[in-house]
Structure 1
């Protein structure tokens, strides 16, 4: 019994050895066997077919996982499939394609066709997918780091209690966004980064604008504290507040709020820096306001017009004290030009009033003479009355004499009618 088992084992081992030898990847062995007993090469063809199908299947799966990845797990799995495809291709007998590109094992109808071009294409796909997987995995490193840094910057900003800490957090936030923006968009990480960047940038812009406004308000409070003791320091603080607000784009919803704050800070800064000229401008405006009020509800006497003119002159005198080197010089000159125009109008009104009063006085004197010694001739009487009427017609509206002149003209006209 033992002898039979030993013989069977030797036979099996010998047969396996022969099959192993004839299936070795050497053309000088395989070619004679293929011509005489191709069935002995069946194990080789079965191995080729298995590796061929395995390479194609693994490549397709790898391509799908990598090109349409939805998570990092897809990238990892795709890389594993690429390695499997590469291992299968390494087990395909490339030497065989060079010797036998035609159908093989024709004696029993078994043939296995695989061209050299097809093999090269498969190898190129493997190389490309290996490169893509390598790039995707490399890109995930800065992507994950940037995500962590972004979260840390947000937390730092939310926990900040002063402008310096908030600005430090915003600087880190900006750096992180720049890192995400630099990741290649050809990679899975880059595509994810671009999808998320819109939201990240929106949040960043809102935080940046909020910080500008908060910082400006903090500078304003500090400036108010130091203003009584150090006006120069207060001015510098308000300038920093203005600089922050100037950086807010006009497309931002809080732009108008920033502009209102900035206008207020500019006024405060100007008051501190240019206190002397601001005081002179305010004094000039007060004189101008008094003159404008006094001018209301005319007509006025020549004396009152004179007083109003003096108020305008005092307003101009206050503004003329502002020197060219002072910041408010241009504003003062604009006001001077306006006040001089008003002063000129007042002088014209005063002269018109004086002329009207003088004309009315002279007309009354002539009327008294006519009453005291009227001419005996009607034509002479009519001519003298016409002369008085001509004088009265030169009195202009808006003068104190105008109403009286109109009354006298009515009486004179009636007298002329009686003389006809």
Structure 2
């Protein structure tokens, strides 16, 4: 009988305890129609939900303050990430606070446990707005940091690629990419942590870029001079092909070669295309010398032919009535002088063929006069 009585008492106690727990859970549900009547007659039954709300409120405030310190006093990107975590926790805490309870302050609970919160609509909205602002700041910080990392990676890659590039067009493409990376670093929002990281490096980055672009400009000028020189050389080659040419034409060719040489002489030893320039310069100077010799040869050959023709004309006038016996030796001597003069006319000149014809005639006259003497 005693055992049955004990068992029955325990059962009653268990059922009662279970019922009480169920009742407390029921009255702590987030329904004003249940909670408000209870808060008037038995506010202690609402203690669990009050404690939970107080906890989330305190946590939300603490997390917001921690996030604010981390986000506005950044010393590393880890601070931003930790601040983001704190904001997320604060948001979760605010989500746990029942909006329906705004305006129904737990006065009895706060009288007994000294609440540090008001839980008014203004306070709730202020907390929401603070979190919203910090989320925006974090978003900007993360975007700026990602841009900073990508731009710096691209910049370093551009520097490396430029050193390995050999073609001017390829270098120009790399410089464009390099400039874009610099622009992205300069355009980072000044209030972000990424911008503070860049500020100490930007001057060095710009100095490196200006050194390269300055060198690139000089190289482009060198390439331009080489191209212009090659154009003059091509013109000279085309003009001078298929000799012989007149003295005037050789002199024109000489001027073209000299223009090509003068362009190459503007390129200094410090310029990138110096070695190529020296090879071209040697070639052009040799061609210029050849043209100068051809011009000189053409001029001297023309003068020699003209002198010989004048002498022959004089002989014809002198011996217009024929060569007397006592004049044959004089005639041979003068004609021999004309032959020597005609021999000065060099091959490859415009007057060479005419000189050869006169030379044959002169030799024939000498031979004829010599045979008469015998």
Question: Given the superposition, is the C-alpha separation of residues 172 and 23 from structure 1 closer, same or farther in structure 2, using an over 3 Å criterion?
Answer: same
- Residue 185 of structure 1: aligned partner: 190
Whole-angstrom CA distance in 2 between matches of 1:240 and 1:27: 94
- Residue 25 of structure 1: aligned partner: 30
Alignment of 1:105 with 2:84, yes or no, is no
Q: Is the 8 A contact 1:224 1:234 kept in 2?
A: no
Whole-angstrom CA distance in 2 between matches of 1:237 and 1:140: 54
Whole-angstrom CA distance in 1 between matches of 2:195 and 2:73: 14
- SS in structure 1 at match of 2:109: coil
Alignment coverage as a number of residue pairs: 248
1:225 Cα shift?
6.4
Question: Given the superposition, is the C-alpha separation of residues 33 and 95 from structure 1 closer, same or farther in structure 2, using an over 3 Å criterion?
Answer: same
1:154 Cα shift?
0.5
TM-score (norm. length: structure 1): 0.50
2:130 aligned to 125, 137, 140, which one? 125
Task: Calculate the aligned-residue CA RMSD, in Å.
Answer: 3.9
Question: Given the superposition, is the C-alpha separation of residues 45 and 227 from structure 1 closer, same or farther in structure 2, using an over 3 Å criterion?
Answer: same
Alignment of 1:51 with 2:77, yes or no, is no
Question: Given the superposition, is the C-alpha separation of residues 6 and 167 from structure 1 closer, same or farther in structure 2, using an over 3 Å criterion?
Answer: same
Alignment of 1:90 with 2:86, yes or no, is no
Question: Given the superposition, is the C-alpha separation of residues 176 and 41 from structure 1 closer, same or farther in structure 2, using an over 3 Å criterion?
Answer: same
Which structure carries more relative contact order (alpha carbon 8 Å, separation 6+)? 2
Cα deviation digits, residues 60-97 of structure 1 (max 9, x gap): 11112222223332222211111110110111233323
Q: Is the 8 A contact 2:233 2:260 kept in 1?
A: no
Question: Given the superposition, is the C-alpha separation of residues 179 and 237 from structure 1 closer, same or farther in structure 2, using an over 3 Å criterion?
Answer: farther
Cα deviation digits, residues 264-322 of structure 1 (max 9, x gap): xxxx9xxxxxxxxxxxxxxxxxxxxxxxxxxxxxxxxxxxxxxxxxxxxxxxxxxxxxx
Q: Is the 8 A contact 2:66 2:83 kept in 1?
A: yes
**Equivalences for residues 8-407 of structure 1 within 5 A:** 8-100=13-105, 103-105=107-109, 109-112=112-115, 113-116=117-120, 117-217=122-222, 219-220=224-225, 228-230=233-235
1:29 Cα shift?
2.1
Cα deviation digits, residues 375-398 of structure 1 (max 9, x gap): xxxxxxxxxxxxxxxxxxxxxxxx
Whole-angstrom CA distance in 2 between matches of 1:211 and 1:220: 14
Q: Is the 8 A contact 1:66 1:75 kept in 2?
A: yes
Whole-angstrom CA distance in 1 between matches of 2:7 and 2:66: 52
Whole-angstrom CA distance in 2 between matches of 1:146 and 1:12: 66
Q: Is the 8 A contact 2:28 2:49 kept in 1?
A: yes
Q: Is the 8 A contact 1:185 1:194 kept in 2?
A: no
Q: Is the 8 A contact 1:56 1:85 kept in 2?
A: yes
Structure 1 stretches lacking a partner, 5+ long: 246-256, 262-267, 269-420
Structure 2 stretches lacking a partner, 5+ long: 1-5, 237-255, 275-280, 282-374
Question: Given the superposition, is the C-alpha separation of residues 24 and 161 from structure 1 closer, same or farther in structure 2, using an over 3 Å criterion?
Answer: same
Question: Given the superposition, is the C-alpha separation of residues 31 and 193 from structure 1 closer, same or farther in structure 2, using an over 3 Å criterion?
Answer: same
Q: Is the 8 A contact 2:64 2:86 kept in 1?
A: yes
Whole-angstrom CA distance in 2 between matches of 1:89 and 1:221: 73
